[in-house]
Amino acid sequence: MTENIAKKIIESIGEDPAREGLRDTPARMAKAWEYLMQGYSQDPAEILGKAIFDENSNQMIIVKDIEIYSMCEHHMLPFFGKCHIGYIAQGRVYGVSKLARLVDCFARRLQLQERLTHQIAESLMAPINAEGVGVVIEAQHLCMMMRGVSKQNSTMITSAMLGSFRTDPAVRAEFLQLIPT
């Protein structure tokens, strides 16, 4: 978003962008949108590729409660919540901070929560030839809370289960038991 577009938005709602409290708002809006949409300039494979390590591990690895902040592509309003990731390694593991960076890479785009969940899971599977991957996201959507049905206490939960997390009920159950929502 450019400052000119931000200024036009302010004018279109009937405000005066020259008013003292709004004078610097177009620049702040442009900078905020650049940050909020930075995922478009990031490469998920590059994020993960910098932190794949050989490790004799074939157990479930879980990182839970990764904060997410994203923007609904339908109303361009925020949704926010937590992402839980689990995977079963087969001799290679990810650096833990890269999992959070991957989540941010996809979340910092116009999104649907359903797509976001699958993008994260699919990106994690192949680079380490994981036996399985599970991703669960629980989020609150301001497009549902602030407008329309105005349901402030609603939470949307999505999951993507790949490999053994999809085919083996015991693996899926262990994962879901370890990340109570």
Mean pLDDT for the chain? 95
Q: Do 75 and 147 touch, CB atoms closer than 8 A? A: yes
Tell me the pLDDT tens digit for each residue of 56-95: 988 999 999 999 999 999 999 999 999 999 999 999 999 9
Question: What are the Cα distances from residue 157, in Å, to 50, 75, 101, 107, 119?
Answer: 30, 19, 21, 15, 15
Domain boundaries, the chain: 3-36, 45-178
**Rounded percentage of the chain residues whose pLDDT exceeds 90:** 90
Instruction: Give which of 76, 34, 82, 39 is closest to 62, Cα–Cα.
Output: 82
Class of the CATH-defined domain 45-178? alpha beta
